[in-house]
């Protein structure tokens, strides 16, 4: 593990240290869930910031690892700062709203809340577009990846990440993630995905985590590009079916 962390720091020190800060933020939020009683939609207010700190930690270290393969170092440094700045904006707003016992996403109840929600949307759009650009570099000759299956895992993992990150815009347009009921109903422990209605966050989650899953499959499971491409298509179709089911208001988790 120590060797992996040292390699990650050598590949992209900016995203390594930022990810570490996010991990500390996650731990702090976990402590706050046990020491405060403020709630949002029936859940401790600091659960949501904890999940975002954890998610952004994983994203930062993942992209820090991949970007270390790229030969265009100035673009990598610029991208790293884009991620840091946009994700800091995201985390500050989410945590600040939670500390006040207020929703961060879909909250347009006051002009200020609406501005904060829109600011998060702009920040995540910028970060996602830049991540897509990094993905495009892996389709050219600007990298040092030699295993073709692993390379296709990175390419398609980033592609699916971008597609399902923008699926978040669908939730933003609806000002909710639950289909068929108001947000905040009976949910799965920790994840809080709806157990009674459609939940757009499920496809969003699995689609974005193709960023880690597909490259890992390409690295450990196969050295044949055709296999990882086939697995990626299957993954995309299954995740899309989960999205369609949610849009029809049907719970994926009713039996759990």
Q: Which of the two residues, 123 and 41, has the higher pLDDT score?
A: 123
Residues 9 and 88 in one domain: yes
Grouping H, G, I as helix, E, B as strand and the rest as coil, residue 43 is: strand
Q: What pLDDT, on the 0 to 100 scale, is given for residue 187?
A: 79
Dist. CA 44–CA 49, nearest whole Å: 10
Q: What pLDDT, on the 0 to 100 scale, is given for residue 188?
A: 78
**Mean pLDDT over each residue of the chain, to the nearest integer:** 94
* Per-residue pLDDT tens over the stretch 165-206: 999 999 999 999 999 888 887 777 778 888 889 999 999 999
Dist. CA 106–CA 95, nearest whole Å: 15
For 10, other C-beta atoms within 10 Å of its C-beta total 10
Dist. CA 85–CA 15, nearest whole Å: 11
Contact between 162 and 132 under an 8 Å Cβ cutoff? The reply is yes
Dihedral of alpha carbons 181, 93, 79, 218, sign: negative
pLDDT band at 254 (very low <50, low <70, confident <90, very high): low
Residues 103 and 182 in one domain: no
Q: What is the pTM of this model?
A: 0.94
pLDDT band at 253 (very low <50, low <70, confident <90, very high): low
Residues 183 and 244 in one domain: yes
Contact between 14 and 81 under an 8 Å Cβ cutoff? The reply is yes
Residues 128 and 61 in one domain: yes
* Per-residue pLDDT tens over the stretch 21-61: 999 999 999 999 999 989 998 899 999 999 999 999 999 99
Taking residues 155-168, report their average pLDDT: 97
Which domain does 101 fall in, by range? 1-144
Choose one of 81, 116, 144: the last residue of a domain. 144
* Per-residue pLDDT tens over the stretch 193-246: 888 899 999 999 999 999 999 999 999 988 899 999 999 999 999 999 999 999
Q: What pLDDT, on the 0 to 100 scale, is given for residue 222?
A: 85
Dist. CA 83–CA 191, nearest whole Å: 24
Choose one of 123, 144, 165: the last residue of a domain. 144
Per the structure, how many domains does the chain have? Answer: 2
């Amino acid at each position: 593990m120590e060797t992996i962390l040292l390699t990650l720091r050598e590949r992209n020190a900016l995203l390594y240290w930022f990810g570490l800060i996010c991990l500390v933020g996650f731990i702090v939020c976990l402590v706050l869930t046990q020491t405060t009683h403020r709630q949002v939609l029936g859940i401790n207010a600091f659960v949501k910031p904890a999940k975002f700190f954890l998610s952004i930690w994983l994203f930062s270290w993942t992209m820090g690892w991949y970007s270390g393969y790229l030969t265009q170092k100035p673009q990598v440094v610029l991208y790293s700062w884009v991620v840091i700045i946009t994700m800091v904006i995201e985390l500050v707003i989410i945590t600040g709203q939670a500390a006040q016992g207020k929703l961060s996403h879909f909250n347009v109840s006051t002009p200020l809340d609406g501005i904060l929600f829109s600011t998060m949307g702009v920040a995540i759009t910028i970060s996602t577009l830049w991540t897509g650009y990094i993905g495009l570099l892996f389709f050219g000759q600007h990298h040092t990846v030699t295993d073709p299956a692993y390379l296709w895992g990175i390419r398609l993992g980033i592609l699916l990440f971008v597609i399902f990150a923008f699926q978040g815009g669908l939730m933003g347009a609806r000002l909710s993630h639950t289909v068929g009921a108001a947000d905040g109903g009976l949910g799965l422990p920790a994840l809080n995905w709806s157990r009674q209605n459609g939940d757009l966050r499920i496809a969003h989650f699995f689609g974005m985590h193709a960023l880690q899953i597909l490259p890992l499959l390409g690295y450990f499971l196969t050295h044949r590009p055709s296999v990882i491409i086939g697995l990626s298509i299957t993954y995309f179709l299954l995740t899309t079916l989960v999205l369609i089911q949610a849009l029809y208001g049907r719970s994926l988790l009713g039996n759990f």
